[in-house]
A and B are shown apart, each in its own frame.
Chain A
Amino acid sequence: MTARNPVTEQDLEEVFKDDPDFGIRLLHEDFREVILRYIKKHGWGLQLADWMDIYSQTILEMIQKSREPGFDHRKPLALAFHIAKCRTRDMLRRRKHRANPDTDAILDCVAKDFSESDIGIKLRYPDSVVWEEFQQNLYEVIAALPGRQRIVARVFIDNYEDFRERDTYTPLAELVSNITGKPESVVAVKNAWLEAKQKIVKELTRRGFNFLEAE
């Protein structure tokens, strides 16, 4: 747990065992930040208001579960994370995002696209890339994109293997239109993704991940 929390997960578990109602209060007081950070990670592409809504749903559901007969007091933070993940997935679907978790489908595409690029060559000798830090920073940067670019990025990433195979942005425009509820031109959507990508590269490079820019 982060250094900011004087209460450990084990303490929380003990409190839930003795007094679930107080456990809920302690969860909110001492673990709300880490729960929202978790929601931010899984709910990237959504807005802050959506994340706050998911947080409220998570706490409400924790209250409900903690009052059920036979409630298992063990690992309450893990339960909160699980609920938050489920409610985030619900919210993404409500916002008409695909939230595609299929990693296997992209492996071949990713390997092939890396193989002959300058980035791929640089990544063969990643002397200082801590991937957990890279991923953390990527989530932060992408969450800070303007709303429309964030939507386009989410759609692009959830449907990457389809677009890549067909090498066209037409379905991307259709899917973005489905979310925004207005017609989207192929050119405008393509430009939005390119701009988003440029911002991502620029900010990540500024933060020290300098293998992204081609020479």
Chain B
Amino acid sequence: MTDRSRQERNQRALDALIVSQLRRHEDSDEVDCEHLPRLTAEEQQALDSLGPDFIDNLLAGQIKPTEDDPPAEEDELLCAGGTSFGMNRAEEIDGETAEELERKRREIIERLKKKDGDDAQPSS
């Protein structure tokens, strides 16, 4: 190989390596959560800035996902069940504060843990 062709071959191999990693087919629905790309500080901040009222705001229509152009018809068939943006059930949601949310969360986790403990007890 000449140096030039060697360089070209290495560039092509690099392309191939990157493409083979990013076009890797996922056969199963199992998600390897450990190896998902990590978030940067900026991305984490954007997520945290949604705040504890995110769900209420979403339901109240104060946060609206954009829908600038509808997806192609074939996409609709591939992923049936797109979001209905007309939904608004804010009146059915009570005014839970973040504190209440956390309290209820702790209660449920405790209950689940207790249930697990009871289930593990041998029956006499």
Q: Which residues of A contact B (CB under 8 A)?
A: 1-2, 6-7, 11, 14-15, 18, 21-22, 24-26, 28-29, 32-34, 36-38, 40-41, 44, 48, 51-57, 59-61, 63-65, 67, 78, 81-83, 85-87, 89-90, 93-94, 100-103, 106, 109-110, 113-114, 116-120, 123, 131-136, 138-140, 142-144, 156-157, 160, 164, 197, 200-201, 212, 214
Which residues of A lie under 8 Å from residue B43 when comparing CB positions? 36, 40, 48, 51
Assess the A214–B7 pair: CB atoms within 8 A.
Answer: yes
Task: Name B37's contact: one of A24, A81, A110, A143 (CB within 8 Å).
Answer: A143
Which residues of B lie under 8 Å from residue A15 when comparing CB positions? 108, 112
Task: Name A33's contact: one of B16, B39, B59 (CB within 8 Å).
Answer: B39
Q: Say yes or no: is B4 at the interface (Cβ < 8 Å to chain A).
A: no
| Top 7 A-B pairs, shortest CB-CB distance | A86-B79, A117-B13, A139-B37, A37-B36, A113-B16, A103-B25, A90-B71
Q: Say yes or no: is B120 at the interface (Cβ < 8 Å to chain A).
A: no
Assess the A59–B58 pair: CB atoms within 8 A.
Answer: yes
In the bound complex, how far is the Cα of B23 from the Cα of A70, in angstroms? 36
Assess the B24–A11 pair: CB atoms within 8 A.
Answer: no
Which residues of B lie under 8 Å from residue A160 when comparing CB positions? 15, 19, 23
Question: Which of B9, B23, B85 gathers the greatest number of chain A CB atoms within 10 Å?
Answer: B23
| Number of interchain pairs (Cβ within 8 Å) | 205
Which residues of B lie under 8 Å from residue A60 when comparing CB positions? 58, 65, 83, 85, 87
Which residues of B lie under 8 Å from residue A89 when comparing CB positions? 71, 75, 78-79
Assess the B37–A140 pair: CB atoms within 8 A.
Answer: yes
Which residues of B lie under 8 Å from residue A113 when comparing CB positions? 9, 12-13, 15-16
In the bound complex, how far is the Cα of B75 from the Cα of A194, in angstroms? 32
Task: Name A25's contact: one of B44, B55, B112 (CB within 8 Å).
Answer: B55
